[in-house]
Structures are given as structure tokens and as C-alpha cells.
Amino acid sequence: MLLTLFAFILALGLLVTFHELGHYWVARRAGVPIVRFSVGFGPVLLRRHDRHGTEWALSAIPLGGYVKMLDEAPPEADEATRRAVFNAQPLIRRVAIVAAGPAANLVLAALIYAFLGMWGTMEPAAVLAAPPAGTPAAQAGVREGDTLTAVAGEPVASWPQARWQLIEPLSLGGDVALTLTSDGGAVRTGTLRLTPQAVLPDGPDPLLAAGLALRAPYPVVGELVQGGAAEQAGLRPGDRILAAGDLDQPAVDTFVRIVQAHAGQALSLIVLRQGDRISLSVTPRAEAGEGGHPVGRIGALIRAELPETLVRLGPLDSLWQGVRRTADTSLFTLRMMGRMFVGDVSWKNVTGPVTIAEYAGRTARIGLESYLGFLALISISIGVLNLLPIPMLDGGHLLFYLIEALRGGRPLSERARDLGQRLGLGLVLSLMVLALFNDFSRLFS
């Protein structure tokens, strides 16, 4: 719980503060006086003033931050100050200052993705399970052990990349070309014919419905019990079970059941150890199980492991991937929003702080790479959301500026702007209520 709370506060504080830094940086370049830059909200804990007169503050509530510019000149201000205030700036400068916040979030996401590309991440390889009969994957010719290497002609290096390339076609439907490599190295193509599927956060996985899933994790020997049957048979930690009895490539749960069924009976094994195939024989010891029935135990922890691949790129490729992934995610988010408005996608996909906090905690527990990926995704969401043409958001201000430009430089009346702000506030509050309702519905369902 504490990790989840800390990860959520860190994510929100960092991303919102970076957003405000975008506004600050461009406003400073435009010569607009900055009254205060606060990290956090509420009562000020620490403050200092820089040589430009800006107050830098650390406030008590660490959920973001804000930048306060001088919008109007005070009565006693000199002519230079009157020309420098925000509202006196040319239209193009006001547009740049307002757009800089969302742009900063998108730039941050691209840099995070670029860093992850250069750093390198271990991701599950896209080695597929046998698809159920009649599913689109089965009809496309997918077989057990195939590695998915490209989707619609776009190379994929791992299962997460494959999922990303497939998620939109799965929701829209249509034909998708798959490039598959068999266990033996033969390369072939297949066509995945998809029907549109509902996209629900708590619904079934659309990839599973299409028959696409990772091959079951393989059993690997972990810690051994001293003097146990596994140790006496010559098994070592790290041995991968390739065969048990007459069964090749057993799944973890299947291997456990085979061992339990061979109490007091010799069981032949083939294991992979440092690239060598080794044949062994182990005799599980009979121990009392549920109901007093004997079950076999070999005295070893059996881990479930998936084949993984290192995804790492050079600096230029990483930067290009970061920019491209940020652009793709932004466009995908906008398309999903549009489909919500026309009813093609459920409004249950709108999530709020509870769900964001939950995923912050989950990704933080997985590791740094996962948490950084989460930060990039939320940064994109903040950037895209703030660009929506809704008064109260940055996009709403940009909408007013667009109208001003179309009117030949004449801004909207104060009454019209006030009405727009009220409508925008109502819409933003409605979205917040919907997001919280969805959050708690998931939490208690």
C-alpha cells in the first residue's frame, strides 16, 4: 500500500511539474514575468526568489505543481512591464506558451521511451501457444512454438510489441498479415481475419479471443531440498525440463501432476543444462497428500519461466522509436476517445486516480523499466488530455486563440470566455465523476 501511494504521488508530481516547466520555459523565453513556480499545492513549506523575481516554492501537497504568470500589469507598473505581461503578448507567443505544457509531456514520454530503448529491456519473446480450433489464429495457420516476428509488415521483437501492434486491429476488425517463424526456423506468413471486438478494461483479453497467447511457461528447477529425490537424481538449479516420461515440453502444472502421480516410481527426465541435453531418472518419494492419498515429491522448487529476449537499440534508433511510439500512442488515444463519443467503445475505459495509483504500484513492484514505461504512458495521457478543445484545459485556451485569429485578432468577449470556462468546468467535473465511478466499480466488482 505504501509503495503504491509513493509510486502514484511520485508519478503525478513529476509529470505535472514537468508539464508546468514547459509553460515556464517558453514564457521565460518570451519575457513574460513569472510570479511563482510551485512544486506541489497548498501551504508553502520552502521558498526562494531568483534574480528575475520568481518565487520558487515547495508546497505541502505533492500532487503536481503550477506556474503563475503575470497576466495583467498592476496600476503602478512601468511601460516595459505592461508590454511584458502574458495578456499583452502577440497571439503566436500566447499559443506557444500554452501549448508548451502538453508538448513537454509528449517530449518527456519520447525521451523515456528512447532511454528504455538504449538501456535495453528483457521482454517475453513472442513464442505462441497452439490456438484453439476455429479461432482466427488457427485459421491463419498459427502453430505451437511459432515465433511472431512481424505484424502487418511491422517487425516485432517481443510479445509486448506484438500486442501493441495488434490492439487496434483487434478492436476495429479486418485482415492482418502475420509473419511467423517455426521452431525449425522456417518463415511463413498467415492472414489473421478479425471481427471487431469490444474494448473493455475488465473484459476478456481480445488477443485470447483471437486465439493468440504465449506458449505456457516451461518448468525450471529452482532450490533443491538437501538429500531429496531431485538432488540424489542429479538435478541442479537452473535445469529446464524438456521431457517427463513420454511427454515432451510439459507445462509447469502438467509436470507437477506427473511427479505427483509417480510416487515411488522411476520417472525419466530430459533436461537442458547450459545448452546440453541430459537424461536422468528420478523416483519421487511418496508423501501423504489431501485425504491421506500418497503423492510423489522430488524435493525441488519448480519455477515457471518464459523465454525472454533483450530489446536494445542504438541511440538514433532509440530516439526515433521514442518519437514514433509517442506519436502512435497519442493518435491511438485520440481515436479511442472519438470512438467513445460515437459509442463504438465503452465509457468504462475512462479511468481515474484509483486505477492510475493501482498501476503505479504494480509497475513499481515489477521493476524500474516497467515503472518508466508507465510514466511515459501517463505523460502522453496528460499531454493529449490537455490538448482537447475544452475550456479549463490548455486546449480550450488554444481554441479561444484560434477563434481570435479567425476574427482578425479580436478576442472573444469576456462574457463568452466566462461562459466557455463554466461549460468546460462542468465537462471536466463530469469526466472526473465518471472516472471515479469506473474506478470504484472495478474496485468493488
Is 55 part of the annotated catalytic residue set?
A: no
CB 239 within 8 A of CB 302: no
The span from the CA of 298 to the CA of 247, in Å, is: 18
Among 20, 231, 358, 414, the one annotated catalytic: 20
d(CA 279, CA 288): 28
Instruction: Give dist(CA 193, CA 176) in Å, integer.
Output: 7
Q: Are 50 and 33 in contact (CB under 8 A)?
A: no
Q: Measure CA 357 to chain center.
A: 13
Distance CA 286, CA 261 (A): 10
Cell numbers linked to 171: 478492436
Q: Which residues of 65-80 are buried (b: 16+ CB within 10 A; e: fewer)?
A: bbbbbbeebeeeeeee
Sequential DSSP letters for 2-28: HHHHHHHHHHHHHHHHHHHHHHHHHHH
Task: Tell me the CA end-to-end span of the chain in Å, nearest whole number.
Answer: 20
- Just list the catalytic residues: 20
